Structure 1
Amino acid sequence: MDFTPHLPRLQNPDLSSLEVIRGRRAVVAMGSPALLTFFCHYPSQLRITGAATTAQEVLDLLIKNKPHVLIATDHLEHGCGIDLVVQAKQLQAKLRTLLIATQPQRSQRLKAAIKAGCNGICLESRIGFGTLRAAIGAVRGGGVYIDSGLADLFRQVHADHTPLRPITQRETQVLTLVTQGHSNPEIGAQLFLSPDTVKSHIQNLRHKLQARDRTHAAVIGLCRGLVPWPDT
């Protein structure tokens, strides 16, 4: 079911001005109408422009709305949320994706989402413990979020990635902030570095970690124990 026409009624009107300022459009895909309704009320600092319970409806919304962020549960009313994340990344490479795992035992399917570049995965059973807010903040800001309950799974996927050379203390600080979703100017402000210096550190990290991009570098850093897990 496509819930998009009902969004003005479902979303909290007190957050509308903040969501517009943030400017991050999101599409939400959840198999449970009750969970979807809850999420539309959740103060996520995202402007939800589409919401549906089936994979095909969500793909149509992605093409129509071109959002910055996709948030999906692995179980949908029709279709699979994990497959949806993979298809969405193929459709829109720069799309930020957060998967809420309701069935974490489906490890092989979750690995496919990780390899496709899923930017965050959190467990549905833990979203009441502050992890959902942290996950959305990291993914929305350009970082990654990996629930510590899925740490072993991520390590298996990236077990073959080892640094070409040890990373420096400063590079570790930069990588930690990248993982948390901070932009280059924000990292520079915290570490008293110029944006160009931060960019140089990230380029060095990508080379040392053999990473495709900054998100991939952050994931490898987490999996290799180079930076702390975000919710520990």
Structure 2
Amino acid sequence: MNATTCASNGDTPIKVLLVDDEQLVRSGFRLLLDIEDDIVVVGEAATGAEAVDKARALRPDVVLMDIRMPKMDGIQATREIATTDALRTVRILILTTYDTDAYVFEGLQAGASGFLLKDCGPAELLHGIRVIAAGESLLAPRITRRLIAQFTAQRTANKAAEHRLAVLTEREREVLALVGQGMSNDEIGAELFLSPATARTHVSRAMVKLGARDRAQLVVIAYRTGLVTP
């Protein structure tokens, strides 16, 4: 239904793969997503291993990934997908609960583009899927910054940090610090009196120089190197 509606408007729907070991959870997400004209659920998976296989077969735009699953957990499944060249365009949005927050940092390191708490509202989930599909990372919400800070704070910066950041210009360091605080390109531009396009260019250059897959990885780097502190 959704794909037909979108195709008639000349738009391509966002293809979503639902990954959760609980059928009831997957069914709930599907009911929510199926009524959206710009989103289509292309498949479901109950294990991490199945998620990797389905991602390879279906090539979704976004994988809604649970963490705790049998056979292969969501972190390992994320790593498998993120490191597969043929799946470089697949974006992963991890869902977590308060008792699994410790996995968030590892999920971002593994290649996830962001995460949401499982008790988020429908509007927040839909927004998250659209943000991830658009090529951004879901790092702006206050809860995200708090959780990242909580777990990256345990990893103190070392001498290698300065060496790693040495490839950046002073402006790129400033931009990286603001990305680490969860700011968008528009917000970074306003903070540094730059146009959003110029801010985007600095972000892109920092990603290339630091070997970051996306903005989520830049946030990890910003905290691990001590450029941003909780």
Alpha-carbon shift at residue 170 of structure 1 (Å) = 9.4
Q: Superposed, which structure 2 residues align to 1:18-29 within 5 Å?
A: 18=6, 21-29=11-19
Partner of 1:167: 171
Q: Under a length normalisation based on structure 1, what TM-score does the superposition of the two structures give?
A: 0.65
Q: Secondary structure at the match of 2:42?
A: strand
Q: Superposed, which structure 2 residues align to 1:35-184 within 5 Å?
A: 35-43=25-33, 45-76=38-69, 78-91=71-84, 92-102=87-97, 104-105=99-100, 107=102, 109-125=103-119, 127-128=120-121, 130-146=123-139, 147-151=144-148, 152-156=150-154, 159=157, 164=166, 166-167=170-171, 171=175, 175=179, 180=184
Q: Under a length normalisation based on structure 2, what TM-score does the superposition of the two structures give?
A: 0.65
C-alpha separation between the residues in 2 aligned to 1:138 and 1:179? Answer: 14
Please give the per-residue CA displacement for 1:170-216, whole angstroms capped at 9, x wherever unaligned.
958x959x965x79xxx9xxx99596x466423444478x3524423
Contact 2:17 2:42 in 1 (8 A): yes
C-alpha separation between the residues in 1 aligned to 2:75 and 2:134? Answer: 22
Match of 1:17 among 5, 20, 28: 5
The one-letter code sitting in structure 2 at the alignment partner of 1:32 is E
Contact 1:32 1:77 in 2 (8 A): no
Partner of 1:6: none
Larger displacement relative to structure 2 (113-122 or 151-160)? 151-160
Alpha-carbon shift at residue 79 of structure 1 (Å) = 3.5
Q: Secondary structure at the match of 1:118?
A: coil
Which ranges in structure 1 are unaligned for 5 or more consecutive residues? Answer: 1-12, 227-232
Which ranges in structure 2 are unaligned for 5 or more consecutive residues? Answer: none
Partner of 1:212: 212
Please give the per-residue CA displacement for 1:88-142, whole angstroms capped at 9, x wherever unaligned.
21233442111101364462x44432212211122213x1275423422322221
RMSD: 4.3
Q: How many residues align?
A: 205
Change (3 A) 1:40 1:222: farther
Q: Secondary structure at the match of 2:121?
A: helix
Change (3 A) 1:73 1:105: closer
Contact 1:70 1:98 in 2 (8 A): yes
C-alpha separation between the residues in 2 aligned to 1:207 and 1:66? Answer: 25
The one-letter code sitting in structure 2 at the alignment partner of 1:25 is K
Q: Secondary structure at the match of 2:171?
A: coil
C-alpha separation between the residues in 2 aligned to 1:87 and 1:30? Answer: 17
C-alpha separation between the residues in 1 aligned to 2:128 and 2:223? Answer: 15
Contact 1:114 1:154 in 2 (8 A): no
